[in-house]
Structure 1
Amino acid sequence: MNLASLSIKRPVFITCIVTVILVVGWLSLKKLPVDLFPNVTFPIVTVTTVYPGAGPEEVETLVSKVYEEELSNVPGLKKLSSQNLENVSVIIAEFNLSTDIKYAEQQVRDKVSAARKKLPTEINEPVIRKIDPADQPIITIAVQSNLPDGELYQVVDKKIKPQFEQVNQVGLVDIVGGRKREIKVELDRNKLKSREISASQVASRLQISGQNIPAGKVSSSTTDSVFRTLGEYKTINEIESTIVNFIGNDIPVTVKDVGLVKDSLEERKGYGYYNGQKAILLSIYKQSGSNTIGVAEAIKMKALKINDSLKTENSNIHLEVVRDGSRQIKANVDDVYETIVFGVILTIIVVYFFLGSGRSTIITGLALPNSLLGSFILLAAAGFTVNIMTLLALSLAVGLLIDDAIVVRENIFRHIEMGADPVTAAIKGTNEVTLAVVATTLTVIAVFGPIAFLDGVVGQFFKEFGLTVCFALIISLFDALTMAPMLSAYFAGKIEHHEPGHIKIKKGIYDHTLGALLEKFNQFQNWLEDVYVGVLKFSLKKPMIILLSAFFIFIASFAALKTVPKTFIPAPDAGEFLVSIDLKPGTSLDGMNSVATEIDNLIRKNKEVLNTVLTVGDANGQPEKATIFVNLIPGKKRPGLTTSKFKERIRTQLKPFAYANPAVRDIDAVGGGQRPFNINIVGDDMKEIEKYSGLLFEKIKHHPALKDVDTTNRPGKPEFQVVPDRTKAQKLGVSTTLMGSELRTMIEGSKAAVFRELGEEYDIRVLLQENQRDLKKGYNETFVPNINNSLIKLSSMTTPLETTGPANINRQDRGRYIQISADIAPDGPGMGGAITDIKRLLSDEIKLPSNMRYQFVGQAENFQELIANMMVAAGLGIMFIYFVLASLYESFVTPLTIMLVLPLAMCGAFYALAITHSSLDLFSMIGCIMLLGVATKNSILLVDYANQQVQQGLSLYDAIIASGKSRLRPILMTSFALIAGMIPLAIGLNEASKQRTSMGIAVIGGLISSTVLTLVVIPAAYTYIERFRVWAGSIMKKIFMTT
């Protein structure tokens, strides 16, 4: 007993199963976490080390190279790179995707620990962390007040920040901007000299005098006693009165004798602004795997409660949510939900018009909620999330999900029209098309299944997409073979018996307008069938003309494809973007602040700008950098002005600030702002790297595919170097370590101890007075200690040298590199065009020496990976489709007829993309892969029925005619249903969906071409291939008979 017979004989049993699927599916949907993208594991571990006062070259030599030496032999390491900036080393260890990230992190920790003894003692504790694609703030909150900086920071750090940290599933709260309280011991160079004491000695004395040291524990028969020495400073007076030296043997020298102790703030490292007003920013991160939208809502509720609490305290502190990362997630998820809903409605309308029966439409349409909700059960079981990729999979599958039910229901409907009773029609009609339905479903699964197992980062994103489609199709196949025949058998209603396709509308049920419309559509179907039979006869009489025409159309599609821009992910119309500013190295923080605020003010003069957030000075302590986050008013309030168009306006407005290298760029949903196009020029000789990267930069800075082309190669930062005369220094007992340590304490300052007040700790920093810290001016009055702590004049053993040093040094696989980056021009040839042209340039015009190489990174690397993976997916899909069809039809030749439609579908997609000026990107490539499975469905229906008719004794010609007439309606129904489901995706219902329109356009174009050409080309090819099959069979038979 097959499924159809079982469902008809046991309707209650099947109804209960389907009800359980619907209920459990709904509960699963409610419990699934919501995010923008699938949970993707990036096997990347970073090591960030702060080396105060060190330049990029010192950071590279003394820190990064040491780490690289240790980490280079870690198992599974794919790529090792580092960024060496002033004061900061960032090591980036990228592992193979098969590497367990927890194991990799532990390996890195072990290696860093082993390298610790080789590193300078002045470095801060290295920070080791894994990279998470969702590791960026989901909410940014601006805290504004007219309180002094120190007081406001104290309130934010001790009162506001802990409240956000207590919100469920919040992982981290970072404070950006503001200045912490710090106790500064500002020394006077002249007083130090007169008392023969160095700045390093003062710092050392404060350190050894200002610590709490545990002494141990003594146990008795009844108690344990803990002993410790208390030395931490609790008052400013304690610091001032600390003895740091003696004159002679009995005259003490205290801190206040050589300087001033100030209750101050730490040196300013940056500024934060919200809408032009100073602010402290809170960047709030969620825990990995948590529901982004839920966490964001909880954070916003907490912000409202904190504001209410501050108002009751009569505080003038105000919190404002200035960036909500969940907004884009919600907009995208809601948009795909809308796309699914509208797709379902349009699909059902199409089915209704073809069947002309409300009851039949309901029976067929029930496949959609059953399959969609049932899919969420499997999503939950697989540990997936509700995200763009899973929802896109379901939106693509809307038309597919109803296809099987359409084929089954239409065939049952046809038998009822011919006079069979509903039960007999349900059993016979389902059995006739079971093989075709199973074949069509398996061919689509054969296409999407391999997508789930692609390699690389792109493959991880596609895993949930491919499996979600497969899950939905499995449920829809079950529904088509159970619910559709069962409901058809018992709820089909009365249908007047007449020729198939000639439906008489009951105008008593429907109003005159709808009834007349359905009559007209019915007449159109009849006319179309007559026309098609005529075209089909011509196709069978002149098959070569048809086949040559199809071949010409296919070849010409490649010319159309050349005009289509190729890129990785199109820029979204997100209503937000970034403007980065980069002045020349050596620019002061106040100098950058002046320029950045002027640009920020200019941007905010545009009426379409809702708000801006400006940060001056980056996280790595580079004062010459600034970033402006621009948030636009909703798209409905700026009709016709997309984010891309507004960005072009801002680029024009910023031309007078060309000296500041402004770059207008999108916010990368994964990388948090990384530019889409990046290429590294790697080598050992920095001068050679600068030369060739400079040549490439000049060649591509005006490339039509790129915008705001920039390079990491910057003019040198001004340096004042002290070059010791080693012989003189050694005779005087001064080592470079003593010399460098003293100069660091004088200028950068040393954290000597902590100051404790009301349970809080604050750093005590020792350094020279502000007007004495310029070594260039005070070179001749500067003294450093020797090994006996005697002060030696610096100028007596050194030579000053004013020069420039690198602003940053980037390394990859133990060599240096310069990176060229850019944004993708919205109307250019796309990333694919840029990559192709640059490869040609580096092959023909700018030939790199043998010891140098180039590498595309970021989205440019992902784009190449995407192309390679899609080629693999397409190849595997075609191979699996062939195997499935060959197995089902027990023939190696029949699948060739069915699969002839594949190139016909691709050419339609190419033409559609070219005509609509859409790009070939991640989304349209998904559509093209989908077409491989979808296009074969119609071909299977046509060929399967023709084979049945041949087996029943009809001639080849008559079988094809009969197949064309009987399968025209289901083919058109399934195709139009698919097209209807894609229309909302293709037109883009709102801002969020504009990024994905290329997917719908590609699918609709491919469906139109494959449907039209399937109905004409496949019959023409079938005559040749079927004759070949018979001829080959007879030859094989003769061979085996003779042997």
Structure 2
Amino acid sequence: MILADVSIRRPVFATMMIVALVVLGLTSFLRLNIDLFPQVDFPFVVVGTVYPGASAEAVENDVTKKIEDAVNSIQGLEDIQSSSREGYSQVVLRFELEMDGKEKAQDVREKMSTHRSDLPQDIEEPVIQRFDPAESPIMSLAIAGDRSPRELTQIAKDKVKKRLESKRGVGAVDLVGGFEREIQVDVDIEKLAAYELSPFDIQNSIAAQNLEVPGGKINEGGTEFLVKTMGRFDDLNQLRNLVVATPEGQFVRLADVATVTDGVEESKSLSRLTGRRAVSLNIKKQSGGNTVDVANLVYAELEQLRKEIPEDVSLIVAQDNSVFTRDAVHDVEVAMLYGSILAVLVIFLFLADLRSTIISAIAIPTSIIATFTFMNALGFTLNFMTLLGLSLAVGLLIDDAIVVIENIYRHIEMGKPAKLAAAAATSEIGLAVTATTFSIVVVFLPVAYMKGIVGRFFYSFGMTVAFSVLVSLFVAFTLTPMLSSRWLKREQSRKGTRNPIYMATNAWNGLFGAINRRYSGILKWALGHRVITLLVATVAFIGGMMLYPLIGFEFMPQSDQSQAFVAIETAPGTRLEVSEEIVGKLEQIIRSHAEVTDVFSVIGGESSPINKGTMTIKLIPKDERDMTVAEFVQELRTELKQVPGVRTSIAVEAGHEGGEAPVAYSVTGDQEERVTRYTEALEAIVRNTPGAVDINNTLSRGTPELRINVDRNKIADLGLNMLQIGSAVRLLVEGDVVSRYKDIDDEYDIRLRVKETQRNIGSSLRNFLIPSSKEVEGIDDFQVPLSRVASIEKWGGPAEKTRFNRKREYRVLANVEGRFSGNVRQDVEAGYADIDMLPGYDIAPVGEGNYQKEAFNYIFESLILAIIFIYLLLASQFNHFLDPLSIMVSLPLSLVGAFLGLLAFGSSISIISLIGVIMLMGLVTKNAILLIDFTKQARARGLSRTEALLQSGPIRFRPIMMTTASMVFGVLPLALGLGPGAELRAPIARVVIGGLISSTALTLVVVPVVYTIFDDIAQWFGGSRRKDQELEKAADAV
């Protein structure tokens, strides 16, 4: 081996190479950001449009469908999902993952700009945003106190929000549940009628007399002056004294017909913390920012802000995702440390030599630190996926060093000088070690390049493992032989020593020697009874496969993050105050549990109606509770159902609404009536499925509506149109922003509306006067009451209208209790297969179910590619077509232990555990490679096949057991499932441990037997079978 020879001859050069890797790695480590998950770019674009006062049907017909038509032709568009509710339209565009999200967002903006004239003039400008998971809030603050909502909003906006937005790394701070200042002009329509005025006269007067009009420039004496007519209100009394009419020379002022109030806008959302009204702030980090660093900066600023705001106002951190991120990352680091220590102890136990142990142990920190260089170069962060890869690699990183140093140690025991032993041993084992390392690399490359959303998340995981084991190979061929050539020497026998450590290692080595001798006997018997050996292996494999149906499956294991989420929904049309009262009852129940520390509730919002909300429940840390968060959720679910007037859905993870429930299905088609019928049939199936709870659907529940049916002939005769009628009604009911009031540097809306006591269905609405361009018979002053041109009726309109790919869509949603979500979905899908549906109508899983189906397909594709790559690698190494097959027989044998490991710990088959299966494919081939490679070397030295196998097995037994034990103990801390986020990490470690144990036990016997069978086949086709048998007999006779 050139690398090893150079390193042995030039130790300083070898040392400097490793030091350079470490220095670069440490420098890169300091530059790595910390996040919970990798930064992934999703080419999803969201178009949100506010249409004030419009019903769900009007929003869908006038806004949503037109946006869908406008963007449908954009290249790469996969699907369109839309929802329309009162006053708001949301269209979500999902493009092919290969597309650039920024470019697609720009394409959408161009299309919207082109088709803007197709949309109603009175909508607010559509907001077009890219969906970026990294832009989700990392923290939520609550400002509470015994002050008016306006005062709390002012403190939150002017002090807290502005200060936090100026901090480095903070991307945005969004205000939720605030009460913005608003100047309200409430007109009295009876007084207006007495002066023969309409609200439109007031509207025009305010708009025309609250202006600053530029007048150009004047040059005088060499100086240029800007001319500006100052007409803005700078005092509310000026607004009150505004002259709005002069009938018969008399001044009619605004105060004569209206009340001007310095108030707050009508709230469409509210926040509560531990039972008190609050104003909340959602803090987002900048793209690519460090979650933990940003959170630390925010905490430091909050300490200063608490000293500056009034003492009776509380500034509380309601939610902080950085805590779980920090704890989860720390827990993985601890698991890596413990795994490294256990792996090193395994080496010492086998070799009973401190110097050999130290040399091998150096490979772990060196490889991990050097890997940070590649991570930084590729733009990775320290997150759950990359750290999971490094923690799993702990056992791998020492493998190459173990195999090399064990072989060097064996050569030294044979009496060779240290330098000669290091060179010869590394050369002897070099090709096999290279092949075993690349067997790991080739199984992780398909993982890194998986397609789909899951592939984006696992890219950094696969590349991190691949780079780390390549670095460990470099260390094994440079630092390990160099140090061994100078530090190792033949140890004197410690027989009779009284040192307890060496007494323990001597006892273990004595026991291990006996096990090795026993293995030699078993191997010799197996080679003489090949059929029985294969039959036992086949039975073991079939038995392992029979365990598969006993294991549950799901997309991702649920993690205990010491929090739970409740989605609430009251009846459509419920007032905000009523929703708040119901939330108060729910909070009281939740806070009665000793495990609860805080309850943070949010009702309504810009993209959510006031009858829907979410409650975030913070629990005491996991290690201080007697129950898991899943058990807490199960207990609380029954209690919350007792509160009338509200539908609740409680889960460990957020996102019940919008198809993110564990069980979620979409029903689509053209005719709404049929889609509704199929949805109801599907819901009945879900309700009868064991494990499904909190069952809900998105079928439209009627929202109370007043429909004003206008007679087109009558308004045409009066010179009116639908826009004038609609504008008049909106002015009456919701009011209209007619101008802006400036107070120092801030501006606030001036809203004109009819006073609240006159906003009713009775005479006020019917008698509301609308200006006409023609004289109305029996009525003076060209004004017509609404009742003359329209009828008013009560109606129950839909609360929300949803579509998918421009078809009507409804969804059935459910949480899961007592079973794995994949098993529940399996039963549901078996049930709805019997629904007789017409062509053009479809039921399909969405959310987690869809992701699981897609991810499992891609993982199995990666598994097949990994197996193919392993074969190509082994065929290239051994220059043989059949030898790799004898090695690869260990692959299916590993599944026996993998399934046993999952079943024993109660884990599920998920994308995490399936990645463990792929990892196993590379791990188990390593042991077989060591065995077969040494056998082929022995045969090349003139030994017969049987002699070579019987010699190679016992010789390779120790390094095989050492690498297996180091890997098992290296990932054991992960498998125990302790600490925050452990539920996500544990399954992969349990698969690896179970699979390695079963595969190693069977591989040591089965692989040699299969090798002889394939060798017989090769020799049969080579025409030399008889000659080889004669050589075998001659050898046995000797």
Which band: TM-score by shorter chain?
Answer: over 0.9
Residue number in structure 2 paired with 1:443: 439
- Pick from 976, 982, 999: which aligns with 2:988? 999
Deviation per CA, 1:169-198: give whole Å up to 9, x if none: 101011111311111111112223333333
Q: Does 1:335 align with 2:331?
A: yes
Residue number in structure 1 paired with 2:1030: none
Count of matched residue pairs:
1021
Structural RMSD (CA): 2.2
Q: Does 1:791 align with 2:787?
A: no
Deviation per CA, 1:67-106: give whole Å up to 9, x if none: 1111111122111121111111111111111111111111
> Which letter does structure 2 place at the counterpart of 1:268?
S
- SS of the equivalent of 1:1002 reads helix
Are the counterparts in 2 of residues 270 and 618 from structure 1 also a CA contact under 8 Å? Answer: yes
Listed as ranges, the matches of 1:243-262 within 5 Å are: 243-245=243-245, 247=247, 250-251=249-250, 253-262=252-261
CA distance in 1, matches of 2:446, 2:894: 20
- Pick from 976, 997, 1001: which aligns with 1:1008? 997
Residue number in structure 1 paired with 2:600: 613
- Provide closer, same or farther for how the CA distance between residues 47 and 969 of structure 1 changes in structure 2, counting only shifts above 3 A: same
- Pick from 350, 356, 359: which aligns with 1:360? 356
> Which letter does structure 1 place at the counterpart of 2:1021?
A
- Pick from 824, 827, 830: which aligns with 1:837? 827
Structure 1 runs not aligned, ≥5 long: 497-503, 1039-1043
Residue number in structure 1 paired with 2:894: 905
- SS of the equivalent of 2:664 reads strand
Residue number in structure 2 paired with 1:208: 208
Farther-moved stretch of structure 1 (28-37 vs 908-917)? 908-917
CA distance in 1, matches of 2:141, 2:231: 39
> Which letter does structure 2 place at the counterpart of 1:786?
S
Deviation per CA, 1:13-56: give whole Å up to 9, x if none: 00111112122212211221110111100111111111111111
Residue number in structure 1 paired with 2:70: 70
- Pick from 549, 566, 584: which aligns with 1:597? 584
Residue number in structure 2 paired with 1:179: 179
- SS of the equivalent of 2:909 reads coil
CA distance in 2, matches of 1:538, 1:658: 73
1:667 is displaced (CA, Å) by 3.2
Are the counterparts in 1 of residues 659 and 665 from structure 2 also a CA contact under 8 Å? Answer: no
Residue number in structure 2 paired with 1:682: 668
> Which letter does structure 2 place at the counterpart of 1:470?
A
- Provide closer, same or farther for how the CA distance between residues 722 and 519 of structure 1 changes in structure 2, counting only shifts above 3 A: same
1:331 is displaced (CA, Å) by 1.1
1:832 is displaced (CA, Å) by 2.4
> Which letter does structure 2 place at the counterpart of 1:328?
F
Are the counterparts in 1 of residues 659 and 813 from structure 2 also a CA contact under 8 Å? Answer: no
Listed as ranges, the matches of 1:54-203 within 5 Å are: 54-203=54-203
1:349 is displaced (CA, Å) by 0.7
- Provide closer, same or farther for how the CA distance between residues 592 and 549 of structure 1 changes in structure 2, counting only shifts above 3 A: same
CA distance in 2, matches of 1:228, 1:118: 37
- SS of the equivalent of 2:571 reads coil
Listed as ranges, the matches of 1:494-573 within 5 Å are: 494-496=490-492, 504-505=493-494, 512-573=499-560
1:477 is displaced (CA, Å) by 0.4
Are the counterparts in 1 of residues 367 and 471 from structure 2 also a CA contact under 8 Å? Answer: yes
- SS of the equivalent of 2:609 reads coil
- Provide closer, same or farther for how the CA distance between residues 870 and 338 of structure 1 changes in structure 2, counting only shifts above 3 A: same
Deviation per CA, 1:135-157: give whole Å up to 9, x if none: 21111111122222222222221
Structure 2 runs not aligned, ≥5 long: 775-780, 1028-1038
Residue number in structure 2 paired with 1:376: 372
Residue number in structure 1 paired with 2:1035: none
Farther-moved stretch of structure 1 (646-655 vs 148-157)? 148-157
Residue number in structure 2 paired with 1:453: 449
CA distance in 1, matches of 2:434, 2:491: 28
Farther-moved stretch of structure 1 (154-163 vs 659-668)? 659-668
1:644 is displaced (CA, Å) by 0.7
Listed as ranges, the matches of 1:276-287 within 5 Å are: 276-287=275-286
Q: Does 1:412 align with 2:408?
A: yes
Are the counterparts in 2 of residues 216 and 227 from structure 1 also a CA contact under 8 Å? Answer: yes
CA distance in 2, matches of 1:224, 1:907: 90
Residue number in structure 1 paired with 2:228: 228
Q: Does 1:891 align with 2:887?
A: no
% identical equivalent positions: 36
Farther-moved stretch of structure 1 (397-406 vs 317-326)? 317-326
- SS of the equivalent of 1:551 reads helix
- Provide closer, same or farther for how the CA distance between residues 704 and 218 of structure 1 changes in structure 2, counting only shifts above 3 A: farther
- Pick from 943, 948, 967: which aligns with 1:978? 967
Farther-moved stretch of structure 1 (46-55 vs 143-152)? 143-152
- Provide closer, same or farther for how the CA distance between residues 709 and 672 of structure 1 changes in structure 2, counting only shifts above 3 A: closer
Are the counterparts in 2 of residues 198 and 742 from structure 1 also a CA contact under 8 Å? Answer: no
Are the counterparts in 2 of residues 351 and 973 from structure 1 also a CA contact under 8 Å? Answer: yes
1:781 is displaced (CA, Å) by 2.5
1:216 is displaced (CA, Å) by 4.1
CA distance in 2, matches of 1:423, 1:342: 33
- Pick from 620, 624, 645: which aligns with 1:633? 620
Deviation per CA, 1:735-764: give whole Å up to 9, x if none: 221111100111111000011122221100
Deviation per CA, 1:185-217: give whole Å up to 9, x if none: 111122233333332342233223323333445
Residue number in structure 2 paired with 1:499: none
Are the counterparts in 1 of residues 700 and 801 from structure 2 also a CA contact under 8 Å? Answer: no
* Structure 2 length-normalised TM: 0.95
- Provide closer, same or farther for how the CA distance between residues 672 and 818 of structure 1 changes in structure 2, counting only shifts above 3 A: closer
Q: Does 1:765 align with 2:751?
A: yes
Are the counterparts in 2 of residues 203 and 766 from structure 1 also a CA contact under 8 Å? Answer: yes
- SS of the equivalent of 2:135 reads coil
Deviation per CA, 1:326-347: give whole Å up to 9, x if none: 0010011011101111110110
Are the counterparts in 1 of residues 324 and 980 from structure 2 also a CA contact under 8 Å? Answer: no
Are the counterparts in 1 of residues 557 and 983 from structure 2 also a CA contact under 8 Å? Answer: no
- Provide closer, same or farther for how the CA distance between residues 37 and 439 of structure 1 changes in structure 2, counting only shifts above 3 A: same
Q: Does 1:575 align with 2:562?
A: yes
Residue number in structure 1 paired with 2:724: 738
Farther-moved stretch of structure 1 (212-221 vs 15-24)? 212-221
- Pick from 930, 934, 937: which aligns with 1:945? 934
1:553 is displaced (CA, Å) by 2.0
Are the counterparts in 2 of residues 507 and 515 from structure 1 also a CA contact under 8 Å? Answer: no
CA distance in 2, matches of 1:84, 1:321: 33
- Pick from 608, 633, 638: which aligns with 1:647? 633
- SS of the equivalent of 1:871 reads helix
> Which letter does structure 2 place at the counterpart of 1:157?
K
- Provide closer, same or farther for how the CA distance between residues 399 and 799 of structure 1 changes in structure 2, counting only shifts above 3 A: same
1:811 is displaced (CA, Å) by 1.5
1:600 is displaced (CA, Å) by 0.5
- SS of the equivalent of 1:657 reads coil
Deviation per CA, 1:492-516: give whole Å up to 9, x if none: 03324xxxxxxx43776xx632222
Are the counterparts in 1 of residues 769 and 786 from structure 2 also a CA contact under 8 Å? Answer: yes
Farther-moved stretch of structure 1 (445-454 vs 611-620)? 611-620
- Provide closer, same or farther for how the CA distance between residues 200 and 578 of structure 1 changes in structure 2, counting only shifts above 3 A: farther
* Structure 1 length-normalised TM: 0.95
Listed as ranges, the matches of 1:658-669 within 5 Å are: 659-668=645-654
1:666 is displaced (CA, Å) by 2.8
- SS of the equivalent of 1:624 reads strand
1:839 is displaced (CA, Å) by 2.9
CA distance in 2, matches of 1:697, 1:611: 34
> Which letter does structure 1 place at the counterpart of 2:115?
A
Deviation per CA, 1:708-736: give whole Å up to 9, x if none: 22211242111111112222232233322
1:989 is displaced (CA, Å) by 2.5
> Which letter does structure 2 place at the counterpart of 1:42?
F
Deviation per CA, 1:964-1021: give whole Å up to 9, x if none: 1111111100111110011101002313213321111111111011101101111111
- SS of the equivalent of 2:227 reads strand
- SS of the equivalent of 1:289 reads coil
Residue number in structure 2 paired with 1:27: 27
Q: Does 1:424 align with 2:411?
A: no
CA distance in 1, matches of 2:612, 2:496: 73
Listed as ranges, the matches of 1:819-858 within 5 Å are: 819-825=811-817, 827-828=818-819, 830-843=820-833, 845-858=834-847
1:669 is displaced (CA, Å) by 9.9
1:218 is displaced (CA, Å) by 6.0
CA distance in 2, matches of 1:297, 1:672: 32
> Which letter does structure 2 place at the counterpart of 1:135?
E
Are the counterparts in 2 of residues 43 and 97 from structure 1 also a CA contact under 8 Å? Answer: yes
